[in-house]
Chain A
């Protein structure tokens, strides 16, 4: 087991070093939710009363947090394609290192990045008037990290399967649009007609957004947090299994 952690750490350290050397993507990734917060938050302010929230930012920040976790991580795979092309993935796969460690080292980098971005978002949200339950914020960030890990693992798996940015970009776009529209990140799904809400019931990310939202207002008794956590855990386990399989797989 200690070998596994050591290998994970070696991969993680290498990834982090490369990232810090070229931090443009980290900054762009953090900028997006900040823009939502600054430019969409004020629009939401007069509307929140209609769907039973009291504070626009306590409502919006959890959604943006999950969005950050999902979409930031979805793009993690693009870096892996570049690495594959330079033979780095193959060179790592020919060492005795655990295949899961090769994936986990990369996931840890993505999660650290997500955590930093989440801090910025929460700090800024608080400055703009968010008044959350702080215990709930910790729990919410925990769920977000799981979701981010799931999406990053899936993105890495997809990258090693397609091995082409040209194939991967449209696939991610195709996945992202319905996820964005059906998970109630901007506005709650309860606002829409019944049929739309029923469709969104099938969207795991919707339960996660709801869960993080309940968590932020400190409503742990509601089933929302539990369902959100359950979905996040399930997705995380599934995606890590898929990601490891592609690192292990013959023609990756």
Chain B
């Protein structure tokens, strides 16, 4: 469904008086098969949205090629647009228009007849639990309703490939969980291929068959969540012991674990297949006379994966991106200002 090779997007930015070129996307290769749900994960400013905008024909690549749904994004952009649905971060409905009217106009721009769009739109409203909101203005909807309306807009022409850009950003946990169900149904009920960007680890984990991780404009990994986590060498085992037993505990842990660290009364290390190793470890530790207060075993998270791959945790990468986004006219940072502006409007309204 998607095949991209060497995609590059460069932005000109000014740092002080100096002009600087920023490679927002720096040679991205991507392959997405039909029916696959792929999570595109990375910190803010990593190049997720920029890549997405190139794949959806909104941005012309500076270098590289991409075919989406069988068509070239530059030479056959109209055919690409016909085949895909795109739900941008900002949505796509005017807050003071009526929901149904926006859906109608959007569908008709795809060349559908009024009757076709109305039928399809009302079906989608039912499927996405928006019954009775056809006449409502988006400004009078909840965040979750508004987001589902955005998805209706993206699905109105029945695309086989759907792009979702940060679908649940800014939603409360309940609305998020609800939206996840709807996204999962895109494939199970419609057989659609889904490509979604997110900077939430749990979201990528919950929704995708495969996760593609991007950092600083480059793809750093692409695999299933489990395989990615397996790359992190083992589970994190943390022992809490009495203060004067820390050294002994660390020695014992080091016999089965890698990169053992001590912090206060806690000793931790990475253990491959911890479930099998820990019982033996416990006996060992006890035999050495160590008073064990507690033991914890953590399966690796995608955050660990990101740390292993890039040497930084996702949170650090986010704060770096935050300081960089002030100089970059990156669409991602622009979209952030957008939501900030909207938040301000909400307050004043």
Contact = CB atoms under 8 A, between A and B. Distances in A.
- A and B are interacting partners: yes
Interface stretch (B105-113, B254-262, B281-289, B310-318): B105-113
A130 interface: no
Contacts of A88: 92-94
Contact of B111 (A86, A91, A96): A96
B96 A97 contact: no
A94 B101 contact: no
A159 B96 CA distance: 20
B153 interface: yes
Contacts of A18: 94, 96-97
A94 B94 contact: no
Nearest to B163: A94
A86 B94 contact: yes
Given A86-B95, A95-B110, 9 more contacts: A14-B105, A87-B91, A87-B93, A88-B93, A91-B86, A91-B93, A94-B86, A96-B78, A96-B111
Interface of B: 56-60, 78, 81-82, 84, 86, 88-97, 101, 105-106, 108-111, 150, 153, 329, 331, 334, 338, 341-342
Contacts of B90: 85-87, 90
Given A250-B60, A251-B331, A91 B81 contact: no
A87 B88 contact: yes
12 contacts: A10-B108, A21-B96, A83-B94, A85-B342, A87-B92, A87-B93, A88-B93, A92-B109, A94-B81, A94-B86, A97-B109, A251-B329
A90 B88 CA distance: 8
Contacts of A14: 97, 101, 105
A110 interface: no
B149 to A, nearest CB: 11
A203 to B, nearest CB: 32
A86 B335 CA distance: 10
- Main SS of chain B's interface residues? mixed
Given A88-B94, A91-B88, A10 B81 contact: no
B78 A250 contact: no
B303 to A, nearest CB: 30
Nearest to A21: B96
A163 B330 CA distance: 13
Interface residues on A, range: 20 to 34
A96 B81 contact: yes
Interface in A76-107: 83, 85-88, 90-97
B185 to A, nearest CB: 22
Contact of B341 (A22, A85, A96, A97): A85
Contacts of B81: 94-96
The listed residue with most A CB atoms (<10 A of its CB), out of B108, B111, B331, is B108
B263 to A, nearest CB: 46
Nearest to B80: A96
Contacts of A96: 78, 81-82, 109-111
Contacts of B57: 94
A15 to B, nearest CB: 10
Contact of A17 (B92, B93, B101, B111): B101
B338 A17 contact: no
A45 interface: no
Q: Report the 9 A-B pairs with minimum CB-CB distance, sorted nearest first.
A: A91-B92, A87-B90, A95-B109, A250-B59, A97-B109, A96-B81, A250-B60, A87-B92, A94-B86
B96 to A, nearest CB: 7
Contacts of B56: 94
A131 interface: no
B112 to A, nearest CB: 11
Given A18-B96, A86-B95, A91 B106 contact: yes
Contacts of B342: 85
Contacts of B153: 91
B58 A250 contact: yes
Contacts of B93: 86-88, 91
Contacts of B106: 91-92, 95
B148 to A, nearest CB: 15
B62 to A, nearest CB: 9
Contacts of A250: 58-60
A163 B94 CA distance: 16
A50 interface: no
Nearest to A251: B59
A202 B229 CA distance: 69
Contacts of A87: 88-93, 150
Contacts of A22: 96
B36 to A, nearest CB: 21
Contacts of B59: 250-251
Contacts of B105: 10-11, 13-14
